[in-house]
Amino acid sequence: MRKLVIWNDPRYRAWFFQILAVLLVGGFFATVIANTVDNLNQLNVASGFGFLQHTAGFGISQTLIEYSEASTYGRAFLVALLNTLLVAGIGIVFATVLGFLVGIARLSSNWLVAKLATVYIETFRNIPLLLQILFWYTAVLSNLPAPRDSMQFGGMLLNRRGLYAPAPVGEPGFEYVMLAFAVALLGIIILRRLSERKRMHTGAGLPVLFPGLGLVFGVPLLVFWLAGSPLHFEVPQLRGFNFVGGLRAVPELLALVFALSIYTASFIAEIVRSGIQAVNWGQSEAALALGLRRPEVLRLVVVPQALRVIIPPLTSQFLNLTKNSSLAAALAYPELASVFAGTVLNQTGQAVEVLAITMAVYLSLSLLTSMAMNFYNSRIALVER
């Protein structure tokens, strides 16, 4: 009778089912791990991460750090990770800016602007991303002129081998310029805090824009001049059939960034549109009645309130862009999935370890992105007083 009473208690019953679920899940994973270890032993495949210290023996077309065929698999992993972060970082910035512009244009009172934005959204978000990547690579970048006939603009050179730009090379003393830039950014943050505090007490804040520009440009330039201009640019030079020196972005990187940015921006534009429309029209009418111009109404009244609606789905788009960068394998661009989960896995045969590391990296990047966006979302959320 006592047992029946305990079973009818929802608290004990809930604990029982939760413990049972944990045991079942733990047993499942224990069985999978045991079978995997068994199969690896039968195939005489050594497990562990010692292979990361072995010589890779293959080259990588684009590297942000020093790398050669004599480097280790661990070094190759780091190079591939940095290439993935490069694609994701550039793509997120471009997609966000373009998405906000198109989303605002979608609500424009100008019929032509609104329709062009609609055509952009409906076109690019309904074409598979892989096809867009291949289009930019095969139909656009592959048909650019040869290096000798490169297209020039703003000191940069564009041809079928990629985009070349002058590379800044710091000299002794340049670290003081970077320190001055960091101090200027800190000054802007402090100035903005003081302005917000004064606005809360008096209704009028301190000027931030022009003093901030003066700090971020004036202070580093002054230190740069006092330090004797410790910076020069290495300009790409044509040697034979290609350019040497300077910075180079390979065509695969350009195609990937273009496709990811344009594709993701079409989704971000719809998120921005819906976020703006979620703000009550009375807010805009009140701001216009106070004498604000429409750009000011959008920047100071509508968008700050719309961000509370925009940020959560925007986070998902950032995560999708980062994970979609793995499609670079179709172009042989040396990012994480292509180099580590492709070349390294085929050479070493360490499938479990390689895939575990790759999945852990993508999981970590997604969680870090979510944490950053959730932190920002909490800062702009309305606080009940």
For the stretch 201-230, pLDDT in tens is: 776 767 777 888 888 888 888 888 888 888
73-166+235-380: CATH topology is MetI-like fold (1.10.3720)
Cα–Cα distance for residue pair 145/158, rounded to 1 Å: 8
**pLDDT band for position 43 (cuts 50, 70, 90):** low
Q: For residue range 97-127, what is the model confidence (pLDDT) as tens digits?
A: 999 999 999 988 889 999 999 999 999 999 9
Cα–Cα distance for residue pair 335/78, rounded to 1 Å: 10
**By C-alpha distance, which of 136, 187, 186 is closest to 160?**
136
Contact (CB, 8 A) for 49 and 70: no
Tell me the one-letter amino acid at 365. Answer: L
Q: Is 244 helix (H, G, I), strand (E, B) or coil?
A: strand
| Higher local confidence (pLDDT), 182 or 4 | 182
Kindly report the number of other CB atoms within 10 A of residue 293's CB atom: 10
Distant-in-sequence, close-in-space partners of 295: CB < 8 Å, separation ≥ 6: none
Cα–Cα distance for residue pair 296/24, rounded to 1 Å: 58
State residue 145 phi and psi, 5-degree precision.
-65, 165
Report the pLDDT value the prediction gives residue 385, as an integer from 0 to 100.
45
Q: Compute the residue count for the chain.
A: 385
Can you give the residue ranges of every domain in the chain? Answer: 2-43, 73-166+235-380
Contact (CB, 8 A) for 136 and 328: no
CA distances from 194 to 200, 205, 206, 214, 385 (A): 10, 8, 7, 17, 22
Q: Has residue 314 got a pLDDT over 90? A: yes
Report the pLDDT value the prediction gives residue 2, as an integer from 0 to 100.
52
Q: What integer is the mean pLDDT of 319-323?
A: 93
Percentage of residues in the chain with pLDDT exceeding 90?
29
Q: Has residue 3 got a pLDDT over 70? A: no
Cα–Cα distance for residue pair 5/64, rounded to 1 Å: 67
Residues paired with residue 247 on neighbouring β-strands, in sequence order:
165
Report the pLDDT value the prediction gives residue 147, as an integer from 0 to 100.
84
Tell me the one-letter amino acid at 307. Answer: L
Report the pLDDT value the prediction gives residue 1, as an integer from 0 to 100.
47
Cα–Cα distance for residue pair 237/244, rounded to 1 Å: 5
Query: Is the full-model pTM beyond 0.75?
Result: yes
Q: What integer is the mean pLDDT of 370-383?
A: 81
Q: For residue range 44-71, what is the model confidence (pLDDT) as tens digits?
A: 666 677 888 888 888 888 888 888 888 8
Report the pLDDT value the prediction gives residue 281, as an integer from 0 to 100.
82
Q: Has residue 315 got a pLDDT over 80? A: yes
**Burial of residue 38, with CB atoms counted within 10 A of its CB: 0-12 exposed, 13-18 middle, 19 or more buried:** exposed
Report the pLDDT value the prediction gives residue 144, as an integer from 0 to 100.
87
Number of separate helices (H) and strands (E) present in the chain: 15, 8
Percentage of residues in the chain with pLDDT exceeding 70?
93
The alpha carbon of 236 is separated from its chain's Cα centroid by a whole number of angstroms, namely: 28
Q: Has residue 164 got a pLDDT over 60? A: yes
Report the pLDDT value the prediction gives residue 195, as an integer from 0 to 100.
81
- On average, the pLDDT of the chain sits at 85
The alpha carbon of 365 is separated from its chain's Cα centroid by a whole number of angstroms, namely: 9
Q: For residue range 346-360, what is the model confidence (pLDDT) as tens digits?
A: 888 787 888 889 999
**By C-alpha distance, which of 238, 44, 256, 216 is closest to 147?**
238
Cα–Cα distance for residue pair 258/90, rounded to 1 Å: 10
Q: What does the DSSP assignment read for 18-83?
A: HHHHHHHHHHHHHHHHHHHHHHHHHTTPPPSSGGGGSB-----S--SS---TTSBHHHHHHHHHHH
CA distances from 344 to 64, 332, 354 (A): 19, 14, 8
